[in-house]
Amino acid sequence: MKKVIVATNRLLARLGLNSIFAKLLLISLSILVVTFLVYNLISSQLVGRDMLERRQGMEGAELRRTITLLETAAQDGWSDASIRSALQLLVPPQMKTILIIDRRGRYMQVGQVPLPEQEIRELIRSADLSTSVEPSSDLIENASGKWIVSSQYAPSIDRYVVSLSNGVQRDFRRWQNLSWLAIVSALAVSVVFSWMFSRYMTTRIRRMSKGAESFAKGQFDSQIIDRSPDELGQLARSLNRMATDLGALEQMRRDFLANVSHDLRSPLTSIHGYVEAILDGTVPREKAERYLRITQDQTMRLMKLVNDLLDMSKIEAGQFDVHPSEFDLAEMIRMLLSRMESTFEHHAVRYEIIGQPVERNHEPDGALLPSDEVKVLVVGDPHRLEQVMINLLQNAMAFSPNSSTIYVTLERRADAACVTVRDEGIGMSEEQTRRIWERFYKSDESRGGHGGTGIGLSIVKHILDAHGSRIEVKSEPGLGSSFRFCLQQARPGENADAETES
């Protein structure tokens, strides 16, 4: 089978028929030819039958008029010559013959259809004449063609009146000739239109092929021009949208590489400079500890960047796991804010915990202060959720003006605990709010020229999705942003040590 396909393809290539234009043209022409042939076959059968029925009806009417004329001639005593002359007025020349036959087989022939006497008698025998006064009609075919033999017995004159006609065959051939002429003309016109249509379709396909090649070469700014509303037009618009998305993704990739390079180079430069200064003795001994702490902060920054990249790699590979357990969310937030105080000071912003004082042994629903007095037990992966909080807080610090405040709210509901991080930063538009969860997305307006790889919030959303939690964001340009997510509270007596894999 494969050999046949290969041989066919080679033959088409040699004939120049392996292009889609040639294939479309051949298919169109094949469909047209088959259609016309089927049409001609069916119409020939229907038209031939209709012509035969009409001709038989006409022959029967003419046969009755002939018998009426013969009865009148018998009553008035016409001579044979007078009868022949009168019948010739009823018989179309070159189309049929009328035979008047007596019981001894003798007949008078009227008409100019040239038939030998032997064929005439064979037609009469084939018609199987009877003494029925009802007219009969048969289609008989012999060497001379197809004949309609109509007969009727006239008892008043004791004669058989027989009509031999081949006019239906001539009419049918004339119709067939006209039909074939019409088919050939229609095929010629169809060939022209098929060629034009095939050329039009292949031109559009070639245009899309060239556009796809341009996209494959990274030329995403080119567009495929096709405004047709059909499927090819929809395909062209889909390819254009794909090119736009690929171009945006390529730009994000370039920005991501540039940001990662910058974020790696900056702390490495600082670490190298401080360590070199300490080793050279440029930094006084009493200030060495301070610069070592700065170096430690830069090292932690590098570790976070590398961890984010590793997490994104795990997410893409489907190997990102969370291990839920029961833990105190309020304690985690309190410890985290305590550890990040130096970071808040570095960014010159404050943080404020919104809530109400809580008396010992009393934990009402609503906003709570995450102090030592409060325990909010939830089910989740404490390490990953701390990663969520760090990303949200650092994101808020990065885009908040100096001396502004970041608000952290912990709320306890009937079966969930909700955390809100709100800043007084530059805010975001609706478009930016929709796209902040995309990997590598960084809008110049929303980022305000700050550093970052654009993957932090994408990791945040993936972690919360793995916990079955939905993060909500509210933001307006110039009015800051608010991020809120909720976690399932631990049920009393629930075994929180079991770990599951997401």
**Same domain assignment for residues 472 and 363:** yes
Mean pLDDT value across the chain: 77
- Going by C-beta distance under 8 Å and a sequence separation of 6 or more, which residues neighbour residue 393? 336, 340, 351, 406, 408, 421
Q: Can you give the residue range of the structural domain that contains 439?
A: 321-488
- Going by C-beta distance under 8 Å and a sequence separation of 6 or more, which residues neighbour residue 195? 25
Give a yes or no: residue 493 inside a domain.
no
Q: Among 169, 189, 217, which residue terminates a domain?
A: 217
- Going by C-beta distance under 8 Å and a sequence separation of 6 or more, which residues neighbour residue 36? 183, 186, 187
**Same domain assignment for residues 161 and 111:** yes
pLDDT tens-digit readout, 359-390: 434 444 445 555 555 688 899 999 889 989 98
CA distances from 450 to 275, 388, 394, 429 (A): 26, 20, 12, 17
| pLDDT at residue 356 tops 60 | no
**The domain that contains 451 carries what CATH number?**
3.30.565.10
Q: Which residue has the tokens 């090119």?
A: 243
Give a yes or no: residue 502 inside a domain.
no
- Confidence category of residue 483, pLDDT binned at 50, 70, 90: very high
- 151 DSSP assignment: E
**The domain that contains 266 carries what CATH number?**
1.10.287.130
- Most confident region among 64-68, 215-219, 330-334, 449-453 by mean pLDDT: 330-334
pTM exceeds 0.95, yes or no: no
d(CA 53, CA 60): 11
Residue type, 44: S
**Same domain assignment for residues 272 and 325:** no
CB distance 395 to 446 below 8 Å: no
d(CA 181, CA 254): 68
pLDDT tens-digit readout, 210-264: 888 888 888 888 888 888 888 888 888 888 888 888 888 888 778 777 777 777 7
**Same domain assignment for residues 374 and 483:** yes
Give a yes or no: residue 499 inside a domain.
no
Measured from the Cβ of residue 314, the count of other Cβ atoms closer than 10 Å reads 14
Q: Among 192, 217, 242, which residue terminates a domain?
A: 217
